[in-house]
Structure 1
Amino acid sequence: MTLAASVIVVSRHRAAALVRCIVALTQQDHPNFEVIVVADPEAVDQVQTLGLPLKCVTFDEANISAARNAGLMMAAAPVVAFIDDDAVAEPTWLSRLIAPFADSRVTASTGFIRGRNGISYQWQACEVDQFGQDYPLPVTEPTLHANTQQRAVKTQGTNCAFRRDALLAIGGFDPAYRFYLDEADVNLRMVGMTAVIPDAQVHHGYLASSRRAANRVPLSLHDIAASTAIFLRRHAPAADLEAALKALSLRESARIAEHRRAGRINAAAELALLTSLTQGWAEGLARPLSVLAALDPTPPPLQPLNTGPRPGRILSGRFWQRRRLLVEAAASRDQITTVFVLTPTARPHKISFQTEGYWLQTGGIFGQSVRQGPRFRLISFRKRVAEEVARLAPYRPIA
């Protein structure tokens, strides 16, 4: 029996991205899940124009933990999954992400994340310890990992799921974390096992926000520093906080210096960022830490989308055929359509999901898709499309 799921999407002032995320969710092959949107009033109004049976919660505060808890209170399914508004899920994502919960020992799961180009990995798998340090996990197949209060698999907020009752029992997400380390905190507080599912994949684009620009330059380090201080107070109370601040400052200073060398920020912006880090740390040390009581919501009944397996379709052509191909793709809402538009060049490939409801891959016939191997490879158009189709087939229906 397929477990029902509640997918929670938190968004703030990014209505266009939120709509694209939800359109992608309508292509999931999972037949029984609901979508809960927690967003600002404008974004809620925008997604309601889609005419989908969504559960919407109006929430306009800069606190992702509190927003996720607001969504959790509306979740009716035994498993709750989370995805960011600036991410889109492959059609097989949810089915694969929640399948491990058939094992009663599993309380959480996480998958892999592809980055801005839709091909290279932004995140794969790691563990986090009580000091907030990450340790890569060399995982290539689905695996189960036992968690402790000192070390646990780190689930990523844009690609994770939890057993609802287990998450409610620990009080959900800690609202002391307004941003950053909120999932890691849950991972160390939740007993049980976490499944790592490499083929449960989403694409994450890192859109601009109040904390970072579109080119990923940080606009403030306040919340990162505050959350780090809170995390250590929660999980490593005996830690040398002065040494921890020094380590954090060195790490962030190196990141800022790289942006400065690249010409993305000036000296004034560099100083402002370091100042925000110091101020955030002080606030994180002073912010009250409340006792997290178990949550006991009475959510409305499950409100599933009309989803399930559907056939795939491939459209391919040269760059001068682009307009015709995209018009045809937009009209194929009853299929999972992937469009290849290639040029006779060695341009690297890029994959994106379009709000009109199709996947688009662009680049040169002779260029790289996976960023390994030669940058130029002589190959025919037909063979190149066949290779790319074979590479994508494990993640979405092709035909």
Structure 2
Amino acid sequence: MTESIEASVVVPTHSERRWASLRRTVASAQAQRVRPAEIIVVVDHNPDLFERVKAEFPEVTVLENESERGASGNRNTGAFHARSELIAFLDDDTVAHPTWLEHLAAPFGDPAVVGAGGLIVPAWERHRPSWLPDELLWTVGVSYAGMPTSIAEIRNVWSASMMIRREAFVRVGGFRVGFGKLGDQNRPEDTELCLRISAETGGHWMYVPDSVIEHDVPLDRSTFRFFLRRCYAEGRGKVQMAGLLPRDQKLGAEQDYLRRTLPRAVAHNLKAATLGRGGFHALRAVTVIAAVAAAGFGGGVETLAGMHEPGTATRV
């Protein structure tokens, strides 16, 4: 008989376009070597999809988003209904490796750990763009160069593969509703949650590379145009998040990434190009510069918008 763990797995979903990937996600959660106590699929204001999911997965708890539209409210609905002490989140376009859950739960023997996240690897629909450097793989929602290669404390993790203590999650009210990914907005609701929980509880987060999921990267997210839009949106989102943080809480990880990781990426790729190791290295160096420019432009746009919005004082 398969061993179980006192953890609920929450999978938010919103569109029939992801039906095939949702089925794979649920199947991977069910196939864990150490099975979860329950699997909860939450449908975001889509009655037809809700009925279809209920019919397809009778052994899974299926809920409708009780909050406003968006991933934050969707995840909150599932988490607040969860009955386990630990809550794990999986996106509906991911596939968890069989040991994902047990590895993700391992750090929670330490009561100071409030949450954990795992390694996210890309599942390219076609192939990885040659111009995309390892340091910028976060633009397609996966782990990137510069992250720890062994289990380590980390400032924040991503909600595509996240586990959290239910007590801490409920204590802060969950994800900030209205602050997240919806339409053309791409605000870092998972980073904001991690920072808020750490500030409220004094606990810390762990990164567990042995806990692995694969994240779909469709063809339309492998284009340079999408890449620039993603960097621009990230710049705007980080400025919005900074406006929610206490004044003494800095975005140190972002500053270190800009000052150290990205300059090293430019230098490494330019050196490789000059040594004849492939022209794509020159393209990757240019891509890093374009990413910084797009994010900076987005941050500037958001700062100006905050200054002109009545009653708003945006801090950076």
Residues 247-277 of structure 1, C-alpha deviations (whole Å, 9 max, x = no match) = 9xxx9xxxxxx9xx99xxxxxxxxxxx89x9
- Counterparts of 1:103 and 1:113, CA distance in 2: 23
Residues 9, 90 of structure 2: 8 Å contact kept: yes
Aligned partner of 2:42 among 22, 38, 60: 38
Aligned residues: 243
Identity %: 23
TM (norm. structure 1) is 0.51
Q: What is the 5 A alignment of 1:166-185? A: 166-179=168-181, 180-185=187-192
Residues 296-347 of structure 1, C-alpha deviations (whole Å, 9 max, x = no match) = xxxxxxxxxxxxxxxxxxxxxxxxxxxxxxxxxxxxxxxxxxxxxxxxxxxx
Residues 110-156 of structure 1, C-alpha deviations (whole Å, 9 max, x = no match) = 11111124999854479xxxxxxxxx34x33323x2xxxxxx52201
1:105 match: 112
Q: What is the 5 A alignment of 1:65-214? A: 65-117=72-124, 123-124=142-143, 136-137=146-147, 139-143=148-152, 145=153, 153-179=155-181, 180-190=187-197, 191-207=202-218, 213-214=220-221
- Counterparts of 2:123 and 2:48, CA distance in 1: 26
- 160 and 281 in structure 1: CA distance in 2 versus 1, 3 angstrom threshold: farther
Tell me how far 1:21 sits from its aligned partner. Answer: 0.9
Bigger Cα Rg? 1
Tell me how far 1:279 sits from its aligned partner. Answer: 7.5
2:62 match: 56
Q: Which amino acid aligns with 2:216?
A: G
Residues 68, 178 of structure 2: 8 Å contact kept: no
Residues 150-169 of structure 1, C-alpha deviations (whole Å, 9 max, x = no match) = xx522011111111101111
Q: What is the 5 A alignment of 1:216-235? A: 217-218=225-226, 224=234, 227-235=237-245
For structure 2, which runs of at least 5 residues remain unmatched after alignment?
Answer: 129-133, 182-186, 250-254, 263-282, 288-296
Aligned-residue Cα RMSD (Å) equals 4.0
2:131 match: none
User: Which of the two has greater helix per residue?
Assistant: 2
Residues 32, 97 of structure 2: 8 Å contact kept: yes
SS of residue in 2 equivalent to 1:171: coil
Residues 5, 32 of structure 1: 8 Å contact kept: yes
- 67 and 25 in structure 1: CA distance in 2 versus 1, 3 angstrom threshold: same
- 48 and 285 in structure 1: CA distance in 2 versus 1, 3 angstrom threshold: farther
SS of residue in 2 equivalent to 1:166: helix
- 20 and 61 in structure 1: CA distance in 2 versus 1, 3 angstrom threshold: farther
SS of residue in 2 equivalent to 1:115: strand
SS of residue in 2 equivalent to 1:80: strand
Q: Does 1:282 align with 2:305?
A: yes
- Counterparts of 1:76 and 1:201, CA distance in 2: 24
- 74 and 223 in structure 1: CA distance in 2 versus 1, 3 angstrom threshold: farther
